[in-house]
Amino acid sequence: MMKKLFLTLFVFVLSLSYGLAQKPIVDFSQKPPNLDSLFPKIAAEKNDTARYYLAMSALTISETNPVEDMHNSERILLYGKKNNDLVCQLLGYSCLCYDYIAFGNQVKSLEYGILANQVAEKSKDDRLKTFGKAMLALSYLTMGDFDKAVAYNKAAVEAGSKYEPDIINTCAVNDMGTIYLAMNKVDSALVYTQKAYEMAIKSGINYWLTSTYLQFGTIHAAMKNPTLALSYWKLALKESDRIKSPKFASIAYAAMADFFYNNNQKDSAKIYATLAISSVKNTAFQTLSVGPAKLLLNIYKGNNLDSAFKYSEIYRIANDTLYNIKALQQAQLMSVEEESRQDQLKLEEEKETEAQKENLQYIFIALGIITFFMLFILFSRKHITNTRVIEFLSVVSLLIVFEFLNLLVHPLLEKVTHHSPLLMLLSLVAMAALLIPLHHKLEHWAVNKLVEKNKLTRLAAARKTIDELEAKA
C-alpha cells in the first residue's frame, strides 16, 4: 500500500514538474537568445507546447526592435517550412503580421495574418489558434474593419480559455478591450480590460499590466471618472518603472498631459508633457517626444517665445528622428525581405533536389524489378515464354531508363541550356537517339536468347517424354 502511495505521489510530482517546465516564462524586456543556439533545442524538443515557448523566446522584441524581430520571425518561419513544423510556421507568420503593423503596411500585415490563421486551423492546436487569430484580429483593427476584428479576437479568446493562461491569451483578452474602446463601446471595453487584469494578477503574467492600466485610464476618462483615470495612469507609471520601460512611462505621462490640456489645466499639462519627453531622452524611444513636444509648443505659442522656440526645436528634432528611424527601418526591412527571399529560394531548391533524389530512387527500383523479371524469363529453364513478353518488358525498361537519365541530367541541362525549351528538347532527342539503337540491339539479343531457351526447353521436354515411353516399353 505504501509503495503504491509513494509511486502515485512520485508520478504526481513528476507530472507537476513537467507541467511547470512547460509554463511560459516570457520576459519581453530581455534580449532574445541567439537563434543558432536555439534551433538545436527546438529540433530536440518533441513536445509541441515546450517547442512553442522555446521558439517564442526569440520573438519578444516587437516593442523594442521590430526589424530584429522580423529577421528572427523570417528565420523561424523558414525553419518551420523546412522541417514541416507548424508551431514555428505559426509563430513566424504571426510575428510578421504584428511587425508589419508597426511598419504601417496593412496589406502585408493582413497577408501574414491570414497565413497564420490557416496554419493555426490546420494544426488544431488551441495555443496556435489563439496566437494566429489574435494577430489577424489586430490586422483588421488597424484597417478599421471592427466586425472582423471582434470576430477573430473572440475566437482567439475562446481558444485561449482552453489552456492555462500565458502571455498571448492574456494579451488577446486585453486586445478585446482595445478593440471595443476603438469602437467607442466603453462598457464592453471595461469588461474585457478588467478580465485581462484579473488574468494577469492570478497567473503572474504581468508584463502587459502597464498597457492594461493605461487602457483603464482611457476608459475612465471617457466615462468622465477623472479621479479613477488619473489613478490608473499613475499605476501604469509604477508598473513601467518596475519593468524598466521608458516607452510605457512616456505613454502614461503623455496620456495625463493630454487629459489636463483638454481640461484646460495647462500648468499640469506642462509638467506631465515635460516628464513624457524627459523619460525617453537619449533612449531608443525618443520619437515618442513628438506628441508631448507639440502639446507644449501649443501651450507656449504666443505667450512665451523662448519656451515656444525650445519645444519647437524638440518637436522638430523628434520629428526628424522619427522620419530618419522610419527610413532606416524601411531600409533594414528591405534587407530582411531580400534575405528572406533568398532563403526561400534556397529552401525550394533543397526541396526540389530532395524530390529528384527520391524520384531517381523509385525509378532505379522499378528498373531493377523489370531487369530481374527479364533475366528470370531469359534464364529460367522450366517455362516456355512468348517473345512478346520480352518485347513489352524491353519497351517499359526503355521508357524507365530514359526517364532515369532525364532526371539525372536535367539539372545539368538546365544550367548548360539556360532553361531554353528548344535546346532542352534537342538534348533530350539526342539522348533518345542514342538509347533507341542500343535498345533494339538489346531487344534483338534478348529475343534470340529467349528463342534459343525455348528450343532447349522443348527439346528437354521431348527427351523426357521419350525416356518415359521407353521405360514403359
| Domain extents in the chain | 21-163, 182-243, 245-321, 352-472
Please check whether residue 146 is in contact with residue 182, taking contact to mean a CB–CB distance below 8 angstroms: yes
Neighbours of 213 (CB within 10 A): 24
List per-residue pLDDT tens for the chain, 473 residues long.
Answer: 433 333 333 333 333 333 333 445 555 556 777 888 888 999 998 888 888 988 888 886 666 666 777 888 888 988 898 889 999 999 999 988 988 887 677 888 898 999 999 999 999 899 999 999 999 999 999 999 999 999 999 999 999 999 988 889 999 999 999 999 999 999 999 999 999 999 999 988 887 888 899 999 999 999 999 999 999 999 999 998 888 888 889 899 999 999 999 999 988 998 998 898 888 777 766 777 778 888 887 787 756 555 555 656 665 655 655 555 555 455 555 555 566 566 666 666 666 667 666 666 756 666 665 565 555 455 555 555 565 665 666 666 656 666 666 666 666 676 677 667 777 777 777 777 776 776 667 666 666 666 666 666 666 666 777 777 767 66
Triad 296, 62, 202: Cα angle to 5°: 95
Taking the mean position of all CA atoms in its chain, how far away is CA 42? Answer: 14
**Spatial distance between the Cα atoms of 48 and 196, rounded to a whole number of angstroms:** 25
Question: What's the residue count for the chain?
Answer: 473
pLDDT in tens, 98-113: 888 876 778 888 989 9
**Spatial distance between the Cα atoms of 239 and 211, rounded to a whole number of angstroms:** 9
Taking the mean position of all CA atoms in its chain, how far away is CA 35? Answer: 14
Buried b (16+ CB within 10 A) or exposed e, 111-138: bbbebbbebbeebebbbbbbbbbbbbbb
- CATH number attached to the domain at 21-163: 1.25.40.10
Burial class (CB in 10 A: 0-12, 13-18, 19+), 332: middle
Taking the mean position of all CA atoms in its chain, how far away is CA 236? Answer: 32
- Dihedral sign (CA 397, 403, 407, 411): positive
Closest CA to 259 of 291, 281, 288: 291
pLDDT in tens, 306-331: 555 565 666 565 565 555 555 545 55
Neighbours of 368 (CB within 10 A): 11
**Spatial distance between the Cα atoms of 269 and 65, rounded to a whole number of angstroms:** 30
Question: Left (φ > 0), alpha (ψ -120 to 50) or beta: where does 196 sit?
Answer: alpha
**Spatial distance between the Cα atoms of 100 and 66, rounded to a whole number of angstroms:** 8
The one-letter code for the residue type at 449 is K
Residue 159 CB partners (closer than 8 Å, separation 6+) = 126, 127, 129, 130, 133, 169
**Spatial distance between the Cα atoms of 254 and 304, rounded to a whole number of angstroms:** 21
